[in-house]
Amino acid sequence: MIRSMTGYGKAETVVAGTPCTIELRCVNGRFLEVSPKIPREYADKEHRIREFARTYVSRGSLTVSLRLQNAEQSGSVAVNREIAAAYVDSLRQLQHDLGLTGSIGIEQIVLLPGVLSPPDKDDDDEQTWLQIQSGLEQALVALNAMRDREGAELARDVEQRLTIIEQGLTTIESTASTRIEYERQRLRDRVTQLVGEAGIDETRLTMEIVLLSEKLDVAEECVRLRSHIKHMRQYIASSENAGRKLNFLLQEMNREVNTIGSKSNHADIAIIVVQMKEELERMREQVQNVE
């Protein structure tokens, strides 16, 4: 079954002895884009987080948020006094050179890069990654469960619209088949009315009838449209990532419907064509959210 690109997943875990919350948010995207938002001390895990997420998500814009709880209790913050002193000396020199007034407070110094740094982690680096990976996997499973549920809703909606289009197509085929014979007879009657039976060139009239039949015949377009509907249903039911294929099929279906409308030149068929295009547009909006 198709899967939606939109979803949310959350997991609670423990990383290096510190409670950790992992949240995932995924929205529509043309390709897969993973954006980790993680604490600075785990910045070296960013690439591994991206790669692991790709094993569960193939398309969409995915945000991975990793939040440490009570991080202040996990160890003392390291203070680089040499860097802090260098900042103060440089700022005082700059103040003197520019003739500036004011004081240099501690609240300004601690915000400068390198003054404060998180405590060193004594635990094994690989073990830390395994703990992050475990929580990330739980969140990804929850994310995909939600995306599967939404995908099932999308599938039901698209299936209903395909049925409406199929019903309209059946009506068009029935109307078009009787209309060709009607137009043939109408052309013969009109020619007879204008020139009389004696003046009819049967060869010419037959040629005109053949050309008229070819112009009005939408059998090919109807066959192709039915084929596209069949493939749409197959892709909706499959477990593979079908979003791009469904988009392509909708474009082809729209092309066939437009051709049917232009060739038929019939009021009843035109009404059905308009209804079909409305359903196709609604399906296109839904399919934009399919992975």
Query: Which tokens sit at 122?
Result: 């004594």
Query: What tokens does 70 get?
Result: 């009570």
State the Cα–Cα distance between residues 284 and 154, nearest whole angstrom. Answer: 11
73 falls in which pLDDT band (50, 70, 90)? very low
Residues 96 and 182 in one domain: no
pLDDT at 108: 83
Instruction: Please report whether residue 234 resides in a domain.
Output: yes
User: Is the Cβ–Cβ distance between 159 and 233 less than 8 Å?
Assistant: yes
Same domain flag for 143 and 182? no
Q: Assess if residue 188 is contained within a domain.
A: yes
pLDDT tens-digit readout, 11-52: 999 998 889 999 999 999 989 999 999 998 898 999 999 999
Residue 196: pLDDT band (50, 70, 90) is: low
Q: Which residue range forms the structural domain that includes residue 204?
A: 149-287
Residues 101 and 162 reside in one and the same domain? no
Residue 94 to residue 250: CA distance in whole angstroms: 65
Domain CATH code at residue 35: 3.30.230.10
Residue 164 is assigned to a structural domain of this protein:
yes
Kindly state whether residues 162 and 265 are assigned to the same domain.
yes
Identify which has the larger pLDDT, 213 or 291: 291
Contact 5, 85 (CB under 8 A): no
Average of per-residue pLDDT across 237-255: 90
On whether both 61 and 128 belong to a single domain, the answer is: yes
Per-residue pLDDT tens digits for 89-143: 898 888 888 888 888 888 888 888 888 776 555 557 889 999 999 999 999 999 9
**Sheet strands (E) in the chain:** 7-15, 18-27, 32-37, 60-68, 78-79, 116-117
Lowest mean pLDDT among 72-81, 110-119, 136-145, 243-252: 72-81
List phi, psi (to 5°) of 200: -75, 125
**Mind listing the pLDDT tens digit for each residue in 139-189?**
999 999 999 999 999 999 999 999 999 999 999 988 877 766 666 666 666
Mark whether 143 and 27 lie in a shared domain.
yes
Across the range 267-273, mean pLDDT stands at 90
* 74, pLDDT greater than 60: no
**Does one domain contain both 206 and 155?**
yes
**154, 286 Cβ separation under 8 angstroms:** yes
Question: What CA–CA distance (Å, rounded) separates 30 from 61?
Answer: 8
Predicted TM-score (pTM) of the model is: 0.70
- pLDDT for 205 equals 61
**For residue 1, is it within any domain?**
no
In a domain, 2, yes or no: no
* Within-domain flag for 206: yes
Q: How many domains does the chain have?
A: 3
**Are residues 192 and 269 both part of a single domain?**
yes
